Amino acid sequence: MTTPVTAAPRPAGLPDTIRHWIGGALVGSADGGTFDVADPVSNVPYARAAAGGPADIDRAVSAARAAFGAWADLSNRDRADVLVRVADGIEARHEQLAEFESFDSGLPIRQARGQAHRAAENFRYFADVIVALGEESFRQGREQFSYVVRSPVGVAGLITPWNTPFMLESWKLAPALAAGCTVVLKPAEWTPLSASLWPGILAGAGVPAGVVNIVHGTGDHAGQALVDHAGVPLISFTGSTDTGRHIIRSSAQHLKTTSMELGGKSPVVVFADADLDAALDSVLFGVFSLNGERCTAGSRVLVERPVYDEFARRLAERAARIRVGPPSDPATEVGALVHPEHYARVLDYVELGREEGRLLAGGGRPAHLTEGNYLQPTVFADVSREARIFQEEIFGPVVALAPFGTETEAVELANATPYGLAAYVWTTDLTRAHRIAHAVESGMVWVNSHNVRDLRTPFGGVKASGVGREGGSHSIGFYTETKIVHIALATPRTPRFGTEGTL
C-alpha cells in the first residue's frame, strides 16, 4: 500500500503559472517552453514556470536598453523616491512574501519573515546611499582642476540563487536601480515563486516598464544566454564556485564586468578563554539557520583542546533538540531542504562523514517526518583537515568539528580549504582577536559574533569564494563607470615639439 504524499499548506494567491516579465508585461516563453516547480515538503509540482531561452533574454535585453536612457537621466533623488516606494510595496506584502518563500524553498516561516523585512531595508538603504553619494574632485594648484563623473554601466545581468531568493534578488536589484542601470534578472529555477511578486511591487511603485525584466529558466539555457548577450556589459552572480568560474570564462568574450559571490566553508575559531555559552549559541545559529543553506555558514568549528570535548558535547546536545518540522510551523527551526537533488547531495556527504569523523548528532531523517527533504541537524567531531566534509561546501545542516593546540595551528586549519568567504573568532583576548582576524584568509571576519551585517560594509570573499565586492558604496561603484575630467585653469606649459629649443 502506498503512503499518500503529505502536502504542504498552500499559501493564498499561489499561481498556477509563473511567467516572464518583459517590458512591463507578463509573457510566456517565445517557444512556449515551461518547467515544473515543486515544493520541498511534498516534492509534487504546484505550478509551471516559463522556461526562458536566448529569444526571451534578447527580448528582455531589448526592453532594458530601450528603458535605459530615461531611467539613467532621472536625478538620484527621483530614483531614490522610487526605491522607497518599492520598499513600501515589499513591506505591504511581507506576510504573503514570507509564505511564498517558505513554501517554495523550505525555509522556516519565522526566518522567511525576517528575509522579507531585510529585502525592504535593502531598497531603503540604497535610496539613502545614492542621494548622499558624492563624487571626487582634485585640484592641482592653480593649473588644473579634475573631477570624477559617475554614470550607470547600462543593462545589468543579475543571476540569483535559490536560498533566500527574494532577499538576494533585492540585494542586487536595489543598487543596480539606484545607480541608474536597467536590469534583466534570472531567478533560480528551483525557487521562482517569490520572484512572481516583483512585477506587482515594482509596477505599483512606479518603476517604468522595461527598467526591470525577469526571465525564468535554467542556468544552462536562460542564464547562459544572459551571460553571452553582447548587450549586457555587467553580470552579478551569487551561487556555486564551479558556476562562477564558468561565467567568468564566458564573460571574457565581451570583457564583461563581473561580481562573483561564490561558495564558502567558513571556519569558527573558538579559544578556551571565549564566552563558551555565547559561542555555542552563535555556532548553532550560524550553521543551522536557513536550513544550513547559507554561504556564510560557520560549517567548520575549530576548538582549542582544553575545551574541545565539552564544547563538542554541548553542541551535539543542543543540535539534537533543534526543532525540525514543516516550514509553515512557526515553531520550526530547521525546515525542508530545497530540492530532492540537493537533499540527495547533502545525504551523500552525511554518509561520507560517518567514515571521516565521529557522528555526535543527527545523520538521518527525523522519525516524525516520513516524507519531504528533511534532515536532522548533524554534528561530526574529530574531522581531519584532509576530509572532504572539512574541505568541501555541503550547504546543509551539517557541521564538522576539529581541535587545535596553538594559535598558529588554528590559523593553519582555518586557511586549509580553497574557500575564503567568512570567518568567526571567539576569544576575550583583544590582541589575539586582531591577529587572527588579519591572518585568516577571508573577505569578512566576525569577532565574538555571528553573521551580523551592516549594509554599509563590503561583502565578498577571496580564493574560491569569489571576485569583487558589493555592499554600500562598493555596490554603486560596481554598477557605474567612472570618468575623470581634467580642466585647465591656466594656459598649460606644454613642451613645443617641432620648434627650436623644444627640450
For residues 119 and 195, the answer to whether their CB atoms sit within 8 Å is no
Q: Determine which one of 91, 99, 169, 261 is catalytic.
A: 261
Task: Give the pLDDT score at 501.
Answer: 61
For residues 30 and 57, the answer to whether their CB atoms sit within 8 Å is no
Q: 303 - beta bridge partners? A: 270, 403
User: E strands of 71-163, at which residues?
Assistant: 137-140, 144-152, 155-159
Task: Give the pLDDT score at 6.
Answer: 59
Is 261 an active-site residue? yes
Task: Give the pLDDT score at 146.
Answer: 96
**228-249 pLDDT per residue, tens:** 999 999 999 999 999 999 999 9
pTM: 0.95
Cell 561546501 belongs to which residue?
393
Q: Pairing state of beta strands 378-381 and 358-361?
A: antiparallel
Task: Tell me the DSSP string of 72-83.
Answer: HHS-HHHHHHHH
Helix, strand, coil % over all residues of the chain, rounded to 5: 40, 20, 40
Tell me which residues of the chain have a pLDDT lower than 50: 1-5
For residues 485 and 146, the answer to whether their CB atoms sit within 8 Å is yes
Q: Determine which one of 99, 295, 356, 470 is catalytic.
A: 295
User: E strands of 56-191, at which residues?
Assistant: 137-140, 144-152, 155-159, 182-186
